[in-house]
Amino acid sequence: EGKKKARESCSLPEPPWEERLANAVTPLWRLPYQEQLQVKYESQRKILQTLASRLEELGIDAQKPGGLCCPLQPVVPSPIINGYRNKSTFSVNRGPDGNPKTVGLYVGTGRERNIVCVKANHVHNVPSKHKQIAQCYEEFICRSPLDSCILFHEGGHWRELVVRTTTRGHAMAIVTFHPQQLGQEALAAQKALLKEFFTCGPGAVCALTSLYFQESTMTRCSHEQSPYQLLHGAPHIFEELLGLKFRISPDAFFQVNTAGAEVLYQAVGQLCQATGDTVLLDICCGTGTIGLSLAHRVSKVIGVEVVEKAIEDAEWNAAFNGISNSEFHSGKAEAVLPELLASWEDSRPLVAVVNPSRAGLHYRVVRAIRNCRSIRRLLYISCKPEGEAMRNFLELCCPPDPRKKLAGEPFAPVLAVPFDMFPHTVHCELVLLFTR
C-alpha cells in the first residue's frame, strides 16, 4: 500500500482533456511530418514482411530483399496535412465536466467504461468548419428539453452528428435522433426546431448547404433501413476531383482526404497500365470516383457498389461529366460479381481495382476474380492492410484449391505503394499491385 501511494505521488499529472483526445485520435500529431511518414513506412514494411512469411507458410517463395513480399515505395505524402478531413462523425455523450450533451470525440473505451466525450477543437485533422457545426449542434441540444441518447435502453433522443464538406465550400450536416416513443407530431416539432436553429437561429452562421435528419433505433442505419430526411437545402453536395464534378449523398463513400485522393487516383491510373482497349472493373466503387477519373484512358468502366444511393450518384456523375463508357451495378459484390464474371467472354484486357471497407472482400468475390482468366492485373487499395485485407491477399496468392472451388492461377504481389491519406494518425492507405 505504501509503495502504491509513493508511485501515485510521483506519477505525472494527467494531461488536459484536449491533449488526451489529440493523443487518442491523432497519435502522431507531435512529430514533424517527415518523421510521421517514416513511422508509416516502417509499419507498412512490417506488413509486407508478415505477408511474405504467411505466403512462405503456403509454400510460395515470396521473400524479396529485406524479407518483403515485393518492393515497397516511400510513403506518398498528403498535399494537405491539417484540417484535411471532408467527413467527421461527432458523438454525443458526457463531457469532462459531466455535461451529458457534449458533442465531440471519444477518449476511453466502452469495455473499460471510462468513455468521455471531448470537444474536437484542438484536433489537427478536423477542419474548423466541422468544429463550428459541432459547436452549434451542441448549443442546440443544450437548449432542447429532450435528453441526449447515450444508451438506447435508458431513453433520450439526440445522438451523433455527421458533417461532410467539400472544397467548393459546401457543408452537409446529418443529425441522428432516437425517436423512442415520440409520435409523428412531436417528431415534426423537433425537426422544425432543428431547421429553425440552423436557418434563422444561431446555427445560421454555419451556412449549411444541406441539413438532414435520421430517425435511428440502431447504432448505424443505412438510408434503406431508415431514410435520411432532408430538412433544409440541397439533397447533395458537390466536389471536384481531377477535373470532374462529383455528387455526394449523405451515406455515399468518398475518400476522406480529397487532395490526397487526387494523388492516389492518378497513381492508380499509372499502376493499372490501362490502354484504350482495357476494361476497368471498379469493385466497391462508391460514387464512381476511381473508375470515372480513369474513364478517358480505357474502353469501358464497370462499377459495383452495395450502397444504392452511391450508385445513383455514380450514374449521375457519369452523365454530368459526359462519360458514356461506364456502367454501374448496385448490390453486394459477392452477389453481383460472380454472375458478371462467370459469363465473361470479352477479349479485351480486364484490370480490376478493389477498394473495400475494413472488412475486406467476401471470399466469393476473391474466388470470382481468381477464376476469371481475363483478369491479369489487380490493384488492391486498403486502409487497413494488416486486418481482413491480409486474408484476401493470401486468398489471391494461394495455390489452386478444388475443395474451395478456387481453380484460377494465383496472383503474386509485385509492388506496394503507401499513401498518407490520414496525416497525424497511424493509418495509411496501401496500394498493392498483383499480377499473374
| Separation of alpha carbons 274 and 254, rounded Å | 23
DSSP 109-173: -TTTT--EEE--TT-TTS-HHHHHHHHHHHHHHHHSSSPB-SSGGG---EEEEEEEE-TTS-EEE
Which among 272, 383, 398, 428 is annotated as catalytic? 383
Phi, psi (deg, nearest 5) at residue 105: -120, 155
d(CA 82, CA 28): 12
> Number of H helices and number of E strands within the chain?
11, 16
User: What one-letter code names the amino acid at 424?
Assistant: H
Active site residue 383: yes
Show Cβ contacts of residue 121 under 8 Å, excluding neighbours closer than 6 positions: 18, 131
3 state SS for 23-81: HHHCCCCCCCHHHHHHHHHHHHHHHHHHHHHHHHHCCCCCCCHHHCCCCECCCECCCCC
Asked if residue 244 lies in contact with residue 293, where contact means CB atoms within 8 angstroms, the answer is yes
Q: Is 355 annotated for ligand binding?
A: yes
Residue 49 marked as a ligand binder: no
Q: Is 99 a known ligand-binding residue? A: no
Residues that constitute the known binding site: 255, 305, 355
Residues that constitute the known binding site for S-adenosyl-L-methionine: 255, 305, 355
Task: Please identify every residue annotated as catalytic.
Answer: 383
